[in-house]
Amino acid sequence: MVFSPDTFLKNLPLPATEKWKDGVWYIEVYRHGTMQLEIFAPKNKDYQTPHEQDELYIIISGTSEFIKESEHYTCKVGDVIFVEAGRVHRFENFSDDFITWVIFYGPKGGETSV
């Protein structure tokens, strides 16, 4: 299967919610087993909260600062970010063209180290 960002970005934003007051700027693209693929293109503010599964971000457009608890990173196209389940994290100061793939996978609570 091949997934193109443009196919899904045209459906954003989804209607606003109590949590995402400016509209929902992510959409599920595909799901298989424990894996879920989304595309995320935040505008104004990233309202996300910790997730139950481990997660990968693959930056496909723009730039952003990424905060994971006390760690701060600058990210750009091509960067991959790993976030363990349950960790507080968010994007800040993202460019207008910022877009990332999001991949959730594994059991609730995350996978354990080998």
Please indicate, yes or no, if residue 64 is contained in any of the structural domains.
yes
| Beta-bridge mates of residue 38 | 28, 102
Domain with 90, as residue range(s), is 5-9+29-105
Q: Which two tokens stand for residue 71?
A: 């760690």
Looking at residue 113, its amino acid is: S
**Counting Cβ atoms within 10 Å, is residue 53 exposed (0-12), middle (13-18) or buried (19+)?**
buried
Share of the chain above pLDDT 90, in %: 92
Please indicate, yes or no, if residue 110 is contained in any of the structural domains.
no
- Whole-prediction pTM: 0.92
Please indicate, yes or no, if residue 78 is contained in any of the structural domains.
yes
CATH number for the domain that contains residue 72: 2.60.120.10
Domain count, the chain: 1
**In which band, very low, low, confident or very high, does the pLDDT at 113 lie, cut at 50, 70 and 90?**
low
Please indicate, yes or no, if residue 17 is contained in any of the structural domains.
no
CA nearest to 26, candidates 93, 98, 89: 98
Please indicate, yes or no, if residue 112 is contained in any of the structural domains.
no
Please indicate, yes or no, if residue 93 is contained in any of the structural domains.
yes
Please indicate, yes or no, if residue 84 is contained in any of the structural domains.
yes
Query: pLDDT by residue (tens digit) across 80-93?
Result: 999 999 999 999 99
Query: pLDDT by residue (tens digit) across 59-87?
Result: 999 999 999 999 999 999 999 999 999 99
Query: pLDDT by residue (tens digit) across 17-36?
Result: 998 888 999 999 999 999 99
Please indicate, yes or no, if residue 47 is contained in any of the structural domains.
yes
Mean per-residue pLDDT of the chain: 95
Looking at residue 11, what is its pLDDT? 93
